């Protein structure tokens, strides 16, 4: 197959980790007889420097015309003082909205080789950690009106959180469908004891549940969910939640698996063109030092093959290669353990590519 992949390296460690994912994709292409054509697109701080805009329309157009998008990370202290609507992160929100990718899928799965890197007690980890957070990605408070104004001699700010039934329904469906392909347990997370958007969320999810009698649905308040993720993560199969709750819970979920550097994500909408990115940020403190863990990005590339290109064997080969390299004892700094072999970002990428 011939596929066009838009590549956004972005800022900080973005370029290093994306280069390793491309190394791995090239090896897959060679082994399975595919051609991957890469189109570079600028987004984030580097686009602000070049064009004065974190995602100019011509760069978004490149992404829309590709078969999928592979993204490293954006942002950094250099752009901390630019106005809110021109921040690097705005580019990320605009590409998500521009591609219409409302469903963000973030797996939290422990690699047995890294079990001791989890901050949780062994008796909790032993029960298993293998769940997915399905995060609504293009609605809620992230996309409501944001404003700051003077009132009564002081500054006041507002961020509007808004959800419609149809927005909740389409992400709810992804939650149920995802659970149906797994252990058939869906936990809907909200704050219905306080928020109207959450009460609507809960009502829509329960209405949908009638279409999925084979899936066991539970409701959980977001504060309790934050607690349950560290207390008894084995109880979760699929969590479906709104944008900001999903942002927060997915960082927590990644940490209990050992390192945020290991976690990939896929974002999909109505079509097959998806956005694939590790869930971590641009880590400016270690950028350009060959210290970053490229595995989250490499596994994001595997998700691209699986979900957008319908190449399950190829995706399996990447995941098996990561498994082998970890079993062989290779570790980047963030997952380093005693007795293991410490490698840099580029060597980790090469080792995974070789193992394909």
Binding ligand IPM (rule: CB under 6 A), the pick from 13, 21, 48, 92 is 92
CB atoms within 10 A of CB 274: 24
Q: Would you say 273 or 282 has its CB closer to Mg ion?
A: 282
Q: Would you say 53 or 89 has its CB closer to ligand IPM?
A: 89
Q: Does 277 sit near Mg ion (CB under 5 A)? A: no
Q: Does 242 sit near ligand IPM (CB under 6 A)? A: no
Binding Mg ion (rule: CB under 5 A), the pick from 42, 247, 277, 334 is 247
92 binds, among ligand IPM, Mg ion, none (CB under 5 to 8 A by kind): ligand IPM
What residues from 179 to 198 belong to the interface with ligand IPM (CB under 6 A)? Answer: none
Q: Does 249 sit near ligand IPM (CB under 6 A)? A: no
Residues 6 or more apart in contact with residue 55 via CB below 8 angstroms: 43, 44, 47, 90, 91, 94, 95, 98
Q: Does 252 sit near ligand IPM (CB under 6 A)? A: no
What residues from 159 to 178 belong to the interface with Mg ion (CB under 5 A)? Answer: none
| SS3 annotation, 212-250 | CCCCEEEEEEHHHHHHHHHHCHHHCCEEEECHHHHHHHH
Q: Does 190 sit near Mg ion (CB under 5 A)? A: no
Residues that contact ligand IPM, how many (by CB under 6 A): 5
The residue nearest ligand IPM at its CB is: 89
Angle between helix axes 222-231 and 243-256 (nearest 10 degrees) is: 10
User: Active-site residue numbers?
Assistant: 142, 191, 223, 247, 251
Alpha-carbon distance 294 to 86, whole Å? Answer: 28
Alpha-carbon distance 185 to 246, whole Å? Answer: 17
Alpha-carbon distance 99 to 46, whole Å? Answer: 20
H or E segment and range at residue 105: strand 103-109
Q: Would you say 67 or 247 has its CB closer to ligand IPM?
A: 247
- Chain residues that interact with ligand IPM, rule: CB under 6 A: 89, 92, 247, 279, 281
């Amino acid at each position: 197959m011939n596929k066009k992949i838009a590549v956004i390296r972005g800022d900080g460690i973005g370029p290093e980790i994306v280069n390793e994912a491309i190394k791995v994709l090239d090896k897959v292409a060679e082994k399975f007889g595919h051609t991957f054509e890469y189109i570079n697109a600028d987004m984030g701080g580097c686009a602000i420097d070049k064009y004065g805009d974190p995602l100019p329309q011509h760069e978004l157009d490149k992404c829309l015309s590709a078969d999928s998008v592979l993204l490293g990370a954006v942002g950094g202290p250099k752009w901390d003082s630019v106005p809110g609507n021109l921040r690097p992160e705005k580019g990320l929100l605009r590409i998500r909205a521009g591609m219409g990718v409302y469903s963000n899928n973030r797996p939290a799965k422990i690699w047995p080789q890294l079990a001791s890197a989890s901050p949780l007690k062994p008796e909790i980890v032993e029960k298993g950690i293998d769940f997915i957070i399905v995060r609504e990605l293009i609605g809620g408070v992230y996309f409501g009106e944001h404003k700051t104004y003077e009132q009564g001699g002081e500054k006041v700010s507002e961020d509007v959180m808004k959800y419609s039934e149809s927005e909740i329904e389409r992400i709810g469906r992804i939650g149920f469908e995802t659970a149906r392909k797994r252990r058939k347990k869906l936990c809907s997370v909200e704050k219905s004891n306080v928020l109207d958007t959450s009460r609507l969320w809960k009502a829509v999810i329960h209405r949908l549940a009638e279409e999925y009698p084979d899936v066991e649905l539970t409701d959980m308040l977001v504060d309790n969910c934050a607690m349950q993720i560290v207390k008894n993560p084995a109880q979760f199969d699929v969590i479906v939640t709104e944008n900001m709750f999903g942002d927060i819970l997915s960082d927590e979920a990644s940490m209990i698996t050992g390192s945020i550097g290991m976690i990939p994500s896929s974002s999909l909408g109505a079509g097959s063109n998806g956005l694939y990115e590790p869930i971590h940020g641009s880590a400016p403190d270690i950028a350009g030092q060959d210290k970053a863990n490229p595995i989250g990005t490499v596994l994001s590339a595997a998700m691209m093959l699986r979900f957008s290109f319908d190449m399950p064997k190829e995706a399996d080969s990447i995941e098996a290669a990561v498994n082998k390299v970890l079993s062989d004892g290779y570790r980047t700094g963030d997952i380093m353990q005693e007795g293991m072999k410490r490698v840099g970002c580029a060597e980790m990428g090469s080792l995974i590519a070789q193992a394909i």
